Each structure stands twice: as structure tokens, then as C-alpha cells.
Amino acid sequence: MDRFVLKKYDRIVVLTQEDKERNWRPWKNVSVIPNPAPPSSRHASLIPKRIIAIGRLTYQKNFSSLIRAFAIVGQQFPDWSLDIFGEGEEREALSSEIRSLGLNSSIRLMGKASDVPGILPDYSIFAMSSRFEGFPLVLVEALSCGLPVVSYACPCGPKDIIRDGVEGFLVPPGDEILLAERLCRLIKEENLRKRMGGAALERANVFSIEKIIPLWMSLFEELSENTY
């Protein structure tokens, strides 16, 4: 955006600290307030041998990378499966890749998810392979039901939501081998999976409506004071 236009605004609000630092560093009138997510009414047991991913079947979401990573996972843990929820223009290409890797019995393209909070607790790990994001609210929804997360540390969002080694793992974008290794570790180490699931529930509180509303109120009060 043109710098002369930016100067006209009292405050610009972005969703992540990473976005502010990457794209708005010279500007002093930028604040960070993330989107809120409602708490889940049901928490994951972390027992089902199933991994979930959710997003549009597009270039951005990079599900082909997740599919290749899961091919490695499946060699070690053939009793685990991956369900990908979403629709998009890459559906046929992803279906073809799944077939070519011989993963028809362990990876399913589930179509559009009509009730994301309702299906998340039926899984034990949430995976994200995006090339880029804005603020992936689905990560917060996963935390809210106690799911540990394995995600590429793409710009922008995952690094603001997930603390590596606490609620899950952040992986350098495109590192499919490490992505597979982190998934395998959570599969293999049940105690770690449950510990990270518990941390996920606590982390979700940061993004509760009760925590986000005061940030907006504080911003409005500050701006109001500056007008006098």
C-alpha cells in the first residue's frame, strides 16, 4: 500500500506479529490483534489412529507435500490414516498422487467440512502443510479441542499460534522428511501426544473471545484519547 495512504490511518491492525515484522516494520501505527476462536465443547481423546488436515485443495495449502510426507509415515505406521477435508481445483491431481503412491487405503479426500469443531475431536493429530497463510483459524480450532499440531512454519500465522515443542512442532517449509519425522514422533510417543494436547488446550485460551475483546477495547480507548 502507498505510504501516503497509510499515513491517513490512525491505526492499522494486522493478525500476526510475524506479519507486522515482515511487512509493516517501518510503520509505527500498526497493532497486532489476532482473530478469536470459540472454545470447543468436546476435547479429543487422542486415541484414534487418525491425522486430520483441513483447507481448500489449492496450491496455497500444498497438500501434495503432506501426502508425500505421509507416505513416509505410512511405511512405519501402516495402521494410521490421514483424512484431508476441503474442496478445490487440485482434487483430481491429489487423488492421482494418492493412487500413484499406493495410499488409497490410508489417505482419504473427505470433501468439504460442514462442522469443523465437530469433527476435530475425532482425530489425534492436526497437520498443516501450507505454503503461506494469513491467520489460519483452523489451527486455533485444533488447539481448542486439544489436538497437537505439526505444521510448516510458513508465513504468516503458524509461528504466532504454535510454539515449537510445546503444543506441537513447527517444520521448515517444504521439509517433507522432517514433517514425516515429527508426525511419526507424535504417533509413537503417546505421552508426548497427550502432553502437547494438554498444552494446546491452555494455548487456545490466548485466542478466546474474552482475551481478544480487551485488546480491541484498549485500542479504541487509546485512539479516543489521542483525538482530544
Q: Determine contact, residues 148/123, Cβ cutoff 8 Å.
A: no
- All structural domains of the chain, each given as residue ranges with its CATH number in brackets, are 1-31 (no CATH), 50-205 (3.40.50.2000)
**pLDDT tens digits for 107-116?**
999 999 989 9
pLDDT > 90? residue 6: no
Q: How many CB atoms lie within 10 A of CB 160?
A: 21
Q: How far is CA 74 from the centre of its chain?
A: 22
Provide the pLDDT for residue 25: 85
pLDDT > 70? residue 228: no
Q: Which residues contact 161 (CB under 8 A, 6 or more apart)?
A: 34, 136, 139, 140, 143, 203, 207
Query: Which helix (H) or strand (E) is 184 found in, with range?
Result: helix 176-188
> How far is Cα 211 from Cα 174, in angstroms, rounded to an integer?
33
Query: Which helix (H) or strand (E) is 218 found in, with range?
Result: helix 209-226
Q: How does residue 1 score in pLDDT terms, banded at 50, 70 and 90?
A: low
**pLDDT tens digits for 121-148?**
999 999 999 999 999 999 999 999 999 9
Q: How does residue 93 score in pLDDT terms, banded at 50, 70 and 90?
A: very high
pTM of the model: 0.94
Mean pLDDT of the region 196-213: 97
pLDDT > 60? residue 2: no
**pLDDT tens digits for 38-92?**
899 999 999 999 999 999 999 999 999 999 999 999 999 999 999 999 999 999 9
